[in-house]
Amino acid sequence: LEELMIRYEKMSDAGQLAAGIAHEIRNPLTSLKGFLQLLQAGVKGRDEYYKIMLEEIEKMEKITTELLFVSKPLTDHLKMEPVTEMIRDVVTLMSTQAKIKGIDISHIAEEEDASFIYCDRSQVKQVLLNLIKNSIEAMEEPGRIVVKTIKNTEEICIQVTDEGAGVPDELIHKLGEPFFTTKKGGTGLGLMITKKILERHNGKLSVKRNEEKGSTFMISFPTQEGI
Ligand code: ADP
Ligand code: MG
């Protein structure tokens, strides 16, 4: 099984990110301007135009909301937080959305343990949410998502395994690049934010292809208070 570490370089390049943001916001703006001009000229088929305009506005809204999250500084909320509880919170939050697609999310802990991570709770939950959300979105058919915790002396590893479409080999190096998305209506910011949060926690992110189908995204955190 091939395991690929997701690249860390580039993400701190503020210039590149700014260019990306400008690009991602300008496209919907240009399209809004065009549609407004058409409406002003009194074209027919207004309902379709309104629908597209609303989609463009929603896209900009999503991008700015997600970017605000990245710009939040690492807070002083660093504490020893229970891993199982954080996972349970997010699984509960996402299970309704999953059920609608016939997807069952379960959590398996290697041992019934009380592992803790020295972290900002809301940020780690955001990471788990981003990964589980991607797994749900990657699955076209009903199936299972398994969240598994593995602990060894140096690190605590959390794996999110899905039965989705998987990531094509040629796209793996693009994961976590700002604005890289293959989804209609995607922002391509989820994994970038995930990497940023993990970097702040001395954590790691990697992905591997499952033998059967789908992929497994893995995150790991150091066990001691080593931040
Ligand atoms: P978004 O979800 O808005 O597209 P992300 O940064 O979360 O942005 O993900 C970027 C891309 O990585 C996705 O568009 C998808 O192509 C790919 N991806 C992420 N997670 C998975 C997954 N679990 N299975 C398949 N592809 C994935
Ligand atoms: Mg996503």
Question: pLDDT band at residue 3, thresholds of 50, 70 and 90?
Answer: low
Q: Is the pLDDT of residue 12 over 70?
A: no
Report pLDDT digits (tens) over 164-215: 999 999 999 999 988 999 998 899 999 999 998 998 899 999 999 999 999 9
Q: Which tokens go with 220? A: 């790991």
Whether 178 is in the pocket of ligand 1, judged by its Cβ within 6 Å, is no
- Output the pLDDT for position 16: 72
Tell whether pTM > 0.95: no
Alpha helices, DSSP H, located in the chain? 14-40, 46-71, 83-100, 121-138, 190-200
Query: What percent of the chain has a predicted confidence (pLDDT) above 90?
Result: 69
> Which ligand 1 atom sits closest to the C-alpha of 181?
14
Q: Is 224 exposed, middle or buried (0-12, 13-18, 19+ CB in 10 A)?
A: exposed
What number is the ipTM of this complex? 0.99
Q: Cα of 135 to ligand 1 centre, how many Å?
A: 8
> Which ligand 1 atom sits closest to the C-alpha of 175?
12
Report pLDDT digits (tens) over 100-145: 999 999 999 876 667 899 999 999 999 999 999 999 999 999 999 9
Beta strands at 143-151 and 103-109: parallel, antiparallel or unpaired: parallel
Whether 165 is in the pocket of ligand 1, judged by its Cβ within 6 Å, is yes
Helix 121-138 and helix 83-100: axis angle, to 10°? 30
Question: pLDDT band at residue 67, thresholds of 50, 70 and 90?
Answer: confident
> Which ligand 1 atom sits closest to the C-alpha of 191?
6
Please compute the mean of the pLDDT values over residues 148-164 and round it to a whole number. Answer: 93
